[in-house]
A and B are shown apart, each in its own frame.
Chain A
């Protein structure tokens, strides 16, 4: 790896006008700008989805209705939140966090770093890259606008199961806007995944063989394949829903010979792989971060790669474990249960490899490393509760309870969010040329760590006691733990303000980073921070 640090003002003045206005960002084909735009978009939608969560936790802070059915006035207008609004909050919180926060954040990091890490000047299809990004904010906007149409936003959960989402039970255009929003977000992800696959397979620098690629690139490649295979199936499912609602087809309508359970099958054929779309890139980031801050090469690189591939393949074959309670044939339940348990094997390989990487390493506890270590511990809790949920007889008991909510948040918050944070603190200096404040980062980490456990851990107990999810009121015996969850949630939400302040302040005023502040060994640390327009003056040769 021989590329020298190259200063920012090299000879490509024809690409970057000195002042970057809106038109520049609208038309940019530079993967680094597009990566940053993805991250900023993800942050915006993360804030929106977070506010929805705050509403849910405020309502659930005590038994009875807190915010619902209490009319209040703002100036000349009188508002009142109905129970329907609570349903909309749960549906839209999940929709925004999944499709518009977590997935775009990973795509953003991937967009910025995959080409650099494989020694390529840009993505394979730079214009397509621009197009895949710009679809995204508008699809999110379309979903947001559904709050303002008659009937409001969809309130049938992010899974949108019929018959709850059929024309009879979800009247009004909100549901249709959700479906079209999913179409757009799906198109964005499919175009992006084609770009990632072609880039990784065709654009690697000389000598960069597949098994020399950094783990993060591997994880993005496998994720892109999952997106490519699964997202069109989701598009098909919601299109069938759309035609059932508006054009009289009967894919899922019992009265016309359809079957609502079929929707669940098609939906989860996408959405279970989607869970891995939201966690595999995290695995990649954690592998980079732990290796760098342990001052050791990653333990068991080859097994890590095959574990990612194994998780992806198995992940496509386990979808029906989300629907044990639909009255499935016991033989099918046994099969899906066994396949799901099997996923524990490659995941275990990864966890033990991370531990072995840290073992006898010279650990450096930067903010990024703290997030990575917390990820290893807390994600494992999420993985283990997943194994619990996957046991069909147990699932009958905890299906649709807060246990599932606890599980999913230990996967998406302790998994996806913490790994995104590890990635942001790790790569921020490379993206902006300046270090983030470690002091503020450390406070951000510890408060996030404490509050996320206060928020999500009690939900396990609530679920086991039988508290159902997506219901605005509950039996008063659940009050104490719910209050604890709500306090944790408000703390967790407020803590994220530190991240925003740190990022925006450091981008301007942080300490200058230099090309390799952490002593990393992958290609992105061989170029200046931020990297030059085309990443490398001379395409690097990997030995």
Chain B
């Protein structure tokens, strides 16, 4: 008598265990819909910024690299400057558009110019890989005027050339903003 009710309770508890295991997996869609429902931004692959720019398609390779974006400002320059996308995983040859935001925090219009570096990390040490990057559009080409108190979008569109050396898995785009006194 006692024995039977033991196995019955045991089975019920086992079913509960399996249900909780199922719940762990149910968290995956639940989490997404919950965040979307109450408007919490969650990670999504390929943000809206990654639209292909106009131009002839290039052969897109299977190989991917991680591209990271950094923005710094030379000292005493009243500009808030940061990438809108922190990191992306890209195929070589894939046309990509990203953007930086710059906001002039002073009450005067200022002129600035960005210096551009692209550093590759891989098997060897960190190396300059600028020559393997086709910059189609960049705010680093010439000086810009930043109106007082306003934020501006600074687009960058580029393609990483398929002949990027084999060992490199990560590229860091580094922009440093300087005051321009031409």
A residues near B (Cβ < 8 Å) are 124-125, 190, 194, 197-198, 201-203, 228-237, 239-240, 251, 254-262, 265-266, 269, 328-329, 331-332
Contact = CB atoms under 8 A, between A and B. Distances in A.
B13 interface: yes
B16 A229 contact: yes
A239 B42 CA distance: 22
A194 B28 contact: no
B161 to A, nearest CB: 21
A120 to B, nearest CB: 10
Which 10 pairs from chain A and chain B are nearest by CB?
A: A236-B24, A232-B20, A232-B21, A233-B24, A194-B13, A329-B40, A255-B89, A259-B43, A124-B6, A257-B45
A254 B87 CA distance: 11
Nearest to B16: A228
Looking at B6, B24, B42, the one whose CB has the most chain A CB atoms below 10 A away is B24
B165 interface: no
Contacts of B21: 232-233, 235-236
Given A194-B17, A232-B21, A262 B27 contact: yes
B2 interface: yes
B115 interface: no
Contact of A259 (B14, B17, B18, B31): B31
A231 B20 CA distance: 8
A332 to B, nearest CB: 7
A472 B54 CA distance: 51
Contacts of A194: 10, 13-14, 17
A204 B147 CA distance: 80
A257 B28 CA distance: 11
16 contacts: A198-B13, A228-B17, A230-B20, A232-B17, A233-B23, A235-B21, A235-B24, A236-B25, A237-B24, A255-B89, A256-B45, A257-B45, A259-B42, A262-B31, A266-B27, A328-B40
Interface string B1-37: 0100110011001101110110111011001000000
Contacts of B39: 329
A265 B2 contact: no
Interface residues of B, number: 27
A203 B24 contact: no
B38 interface: yes
Given A228-B17, A257-B45, A125 B38 contact: no
B27 A265 contact: yes
B131 interface: no
B28 A251 contact: yes
A332 B34 CA distance: 12
Contacts of A251: 28
Nearest to B25: A236
Contacts of B28: 240, 251, 262
Contacts of A190: 17
A259 B32 CA distance: 9
A447 B173 CA distance: 57
Interface of B: 2, 5-6, 9-10, 13-14, 16-18, 20-21, 23-25, 27-28, 31, 38-40, 42-45, 64, 89
B38 A329 contact: yes
A229 B14 contact: no
Looking at A231, A251, A259, the one whose CB has the most chain B CB atoms below 10 A away is A259
B45 A197 contact: no
B163 to A, nearest CB: 23
B62 to A, nearest CB: 14
Given A233-B23, A329-B40, 14 more contacts: A124-B6, A190-B17, A202-B6, A202-B9, A228-B20, A232-B20, A235-B21, A236-B27, A237-B24, A240-B28, A254-B89, A255-B89, A256-B45, A257-B45
Contacts of B9: 197-198, 201-202
A130 to B, nearest CB: 15
B17 A255 contact: no
A415 to B, nearest CB: 26
B13 A228 contact: yes
B20 A229 contact: yes
Contacts of A257: 44-45
A223 to B, nearest CB: 14
Contacts of B20: 228-233
Contacts of B31: 259, 262, 265
Contact of B6 (A125, A233, A236): A125
A260 to B, nearest CB: 8
A114 to B, nearest CB: 15
A198 B10 contact: yes
A261 B38 CA distance: 17
A259 B40 CA distance: 13
Contacts of B24: 232-237, 239-240, 266, 269
Contacts of B64: 255
Contacts of A197: 9, 13
Contacts of B6: 124-125, 198, 202-203
B10 A125 contact: yes
A291 B6 CA distance: 32
Contacts of A234: 24
A236 B6 CA distance: 27
Contacts of B40: 328-329, 332
A258 B43 CA distance: 7
A366 B38 CA distance: 56
A235 B31 CA distance: 18
B156 to A, nearest CB: 21
Contacts of B27: 233, 236, 262, 265-266, 269
Contacts of B25: 236, 240
Contacts of A236: 21, 23-25, 27
A302 to B, nearest CB: 25
A262 B32 CA distance: 9
Contacts of B17: 190, 194, 228, 231-232
Nearest to B9: A198
Contacts of B43: 254, 258-261
